[in-house]
Structure 1
Amino acid sequence: CSDKTGTLTMNRMTVAHMWLGNKIVEVHPDDVQNSHVLFNKAYLEDFDTPYIRRFSVQPFDFVDSKDWRKLVRCAILCNKAAFKEDAENMAKDVWKRECNGDASETALLQYTEAVHGNVFNYRNENKKIVEIPFNSTNKFQLSIHETSDKKNLLLVMKGAPEKILEKCDKILVDGETLEMNDHWKKEFNSAYEYLGGLGERVLGFCDLRLDETFTSDYEFDTENFNFPTTGLRFLGFYSLIDPPKPSVPEAISRCRSAGIQVFMVTGDHPITAKAIAQSVGIITYETKEDIAKRLKIPIERVNKKDVKACVVHGSQLTDMTSDDLDKLIREHKEIVFARTSPQQKLIIVEACQRTNMLVGVTGDGVN
């Protein structure tokens, strides 16, 4: 059983795309101001037909985009990463500076410094009042700030997009705050699936202006929330590339040759996890969803005997009995477990052992 981030991948993330105002924008690390709108519509009926063939590529207007200003504000403030402040480090190109922080937050810090600038000063001007760090249960990070415009306190949040969506009843599109209805949820899901399908880690962002009840002197309870954490406004996604290590595909192949099954166990979204698993050779067979799509039949009609690979969401694991999980492991040669909690990782190992496997576990996410 292998963790993904930093074990199968290099744990060196960079911002690759963003979705805001119902536009997917490609970010160019060497020239972030020259980013382009790849797709002016998120919904895609057939993912086999790339957006790029259906829609024109246009320069992205950073200057006039209210959506971008709100999204980048959230990415700057809801972020604990910081550059190491020694003179030698700060003299380096932004993308080469060493940072204190995890890989995702480091990528966002480098991007926002490159495209917005003066992140350190901006944070000082928008003082943090309280913070709730990310954890594997909530799957979001939250902070509340005074803002330089002297308006009411601002709550900003980032995390797993599906969790962020649950918190939102509004969405920002072209500078207007709209109701988060079924149409926008459909657009959200399509953009999420597309970017996740590229093997990118997708993070969602949202915000809320608190009412005048909440001041800098208010005693915020970060255990039993005594402030709003729902009714927020969805701002968009940033998606991050974390390339597989060059040596991993060969290592996976050698394991197979030795009769060793390699399962991926990760906290990432199933779509992202599957794309990475396919790129390194952990998944080489079709899943039942792939077979159904190829044959253009309902998933229920797929012959179970033809299915040798599967991707299992942590929520599915929660509903499984021990016998169900044991059966799943016996019946599939290739398995990716996604959106798993630390507790579920132990459950997976124990299930493998029950099926008479000798289990080795590797990676940061298994401790």
Structure 2
Amino acid sequence: GTRRMAKKNAIVRSLPSVETLGCTSVICSDKTGTLTTNQMSVCRAFIFNKTDTNELQIEQFEVTGTTYEPKGDILLDGDKFNCSDRSGLVELAECAALCNDSSLDYNETKKAFEKVGEATETALTVLVEKMNVFNTDKSCLSLHELAMASNTIIHQKYHKEFTLEFSRDRKSMSTYVTTATKGSSGSNPPSAKMFVKGAPEPVIDRCTHIRCGTQKLPMTPQIKQEILHLVHQYGTGRDTLRCLALGTIDNPPRREDMDLEDSKKFVTYETNITFVGVVGMLDPPRAEVHEAIIRCRQAGIRVIMITGDNKNTAEAICRRIGIFNELEDTRGKAFSGREFDDLSNEEQSEACRHAKMFARVDPAHKSKIVEYLQSHGEITAMTGDGVNDAPALKKAEIGIAMGSGTAVAKTASEMVLAD
């Protein structure tokens, strides 16, 4: 039996645990990388455009593909769309490619595309490849070349001079680029431009204009309200997307007038921004999870999701994967770490009888939850991958570590999922 399990990448470290596995009544699962792919991907974006009657409108696009593979389509009203037809999308792609310190690589051994750098920025890199705004012919490219083909074209168009790194006070980052444009008399002096990306509210607060096609229109309170309303919708809907606003500064300060040593001054350089668009991204659930949760329920096993994410994001993921159904009232079934701490011991014990989700929890909560479940006579399986998860993995009847997890987590567990 253990050999059959090993063939499916479930490495059993303790033989008696296999018997325990058959009696499991509750599975406490990590979210990131276990229930989800841990591959951030952009699934929506919007820009401004003019209607046939010359009225301003927000144009929303959907993006297909949920892994780091640089393949997918941009959809407008459900139909495939050529991004080069919208100058706003071209500028959005330029901003996503240049305001970015991450890249994509193809791993020959794993036969998969992998991130090099931050997951959020890699999601933007992949988006640029899907958008392919300069219609680059990719038919004869190797997988290594496919990883960064469209991004490379944009990087060749501009010269990145320096980056104003992200800081929490302004919640944004920017890059300063120059471009040498050809004039009739040869080469003109390079013109400077800045690309900005960051959390929507603070970036939009510093926007004085919006980009609509090739036009630059003044940002009005009404337009600002429209943008923030849609950002709020993206952030609180079924998907609970993480949103980033992208913009440009067409006439940035001269390089010699900027103090690059003092990050507190960066916010003064990132002003007079022209809003270009917003992208919404998520860490998508694994395709097989929904079916697995249904099968657990049919077998009488309760699945509890435990995550460090905020409660809204966690609830949205739970609805997507079937832990909660679409309209289920989550009161008494979903708790944040703080809400759980505010309960008395008796109330905590009672909460663990019905809970299906714990959000914003730390490792100490995990051990506590396992203790309460065991006091109710439950046989608990716990998944985890970090050093901090080790006590809970050890405490549960069966601890399951992820193959990509730390050695400490694997040592504390009875089983390792190698893939």
The alignment's TM-score, normalised by the length of structure 2, stands at 0.56
Matching residue's letter, 1:6: G
Give the CA deviation at 1:127: 0.9
Q: Which of 82, 101, 107 matches 2:123?
A: 107
Q: Which of 65, 70, 76 matches 1:37?
A: 76
Work out the CA distance in 1 between the residues paired with 2:272 and 2:229: 19
Matching residue's letter, 1:16: C
Matching residue's letter, 1:10: T
Per-residue CA distance 1:166-223 (angstroms, 9 max, x = gap): 5545443444333252454245433652576352644322334275644067332454
Work out the CA distance in 1 between the residues paired with 2:124 and 2:206: 22
Query: Aligned residue for 2:154?
Result: 122
Q: Which of 331, 337, 341 matches 1:307?
A: 331
Per-residue CA distance 1:308-353 (angstroms, 9 max, x = gap): 34576x9xx6xx795379879966734463xx6xxxx43x855984
Query: Aligned residue for 2:165?
Result: 132
Matching residue's letter, 1:19: F
Work out the CA distance in 1 between the residues paired with 2:176 and 2:89: 19
Query: Aligned residue for 2:177?
Result: 146
Work out the CA distance in 2 between the residues paired with 1:185 and 1:108: 25
Q: 1:256-295 residue pairs with structure 2 within 5 A?
A: 257=300, 261-266=304-309, 270=312, 272-284=313-325, 286=327
Q: 1:51-200 residue pairs with structure 2 within 5 A?
A: 60=81, 62-84=83-105, 97-114=113-130, 115-116=132-133, 117-123=149-155, 125-133=158-166, 140-148=171-179, 150-158=190-198, 160-162=199-201, 164-168=203-207, 170-174=209-213, 175-190=215-230, 192-194=232-234, 197-199=237-239
Matching residue's letter, 2:225: K
Matching residue's letter, 1:262: M
SS at match of 1:25: strand
Larger Rg over CA atoms: 2
Is residue 15–residue 108 contact of structure 1 (8 Å, CA) maintained in 2? yes
Q: Which of 59, 70, 94 matches 1:23?
A: 59
- CA change 1:247–1:365 in 2 (3 A) is farther
Is residue 274–residue 311 contact of structure 1 (8 Å, CA) maintained in 2? no
Work out the CA distance in 2 between the residues paired with 1:213 and 1:325: 57
Is residue 286–residue 309 contact of structure 1 (8 Å, CA) maintained in 2? no
- CA change 1:280–1:321 in 2 (3 A) is closer
Is residue 7–residue 363 contact of structure 1 (8 Å, CA) maintained in 2? no
Query: Aligned residue for 2:376?
Result: none
Work out the CA distance in 2 between the residues paired with 1:145 and 1:101: 20
Is residue 263–residue 282 contact of structure 1 (8 Å, CA) maintained in 2? no
Give the CA deviation at 1:131: 3.6
Work out the CA distance in 2 between the residues paired with 1:365 and 1:69: 43
SS at match of 2:384: coil
Work out the CA distance in 2 between the residues paired with 1:275 and 1:8: 13
SS at match of 2:92: helix
Is residue 234–residue 241 contact of structure 2 (8 Å, CA) maintained in 1? no
Gaps of 5+ in 1: 39-56, 289-305
Is residue 144–residue 154 contact of structure 1 (8 Å, CA) maintained in 2? yes
- CA change 1:308–1:98 in 2 (3 A) is closer
Query: Aligned residue for 1:51?
Result: none
Is residue 84–residue 98 contact of structure 1 (8 Å, CA) maintained in 2? yes
- CA change 1:220–1:257 in 2 (3 A) is farther
Is residue 146–residue 216 contact of structure 1 (8 Å, CA) maintained in 2? no
Is residue 92–residue 276 contact of structure 2 (8 Å, CA) maintained in 1? yes
Work out the CA distance in 1 between the residues paired with 2:30 and 2:205: 27
Matching residue's letter, 1:209: I
How many residues in Structure 1 have an aligned counterpart in Structure 2?
309
Work out the CA distance in 1 between the residues paired with 2:250 and 2:295: 53
Is residue 13–residue 107 contact of structure 1 (8 Å, CA) maintained in 2? yes
SS at match of 2:84: coil
Which moved further from structure 2: 355-364 or 173-182?
355-364
Matching residue's letter, 1:323: D
Query: Aligned residue for 1:46?
Result: none
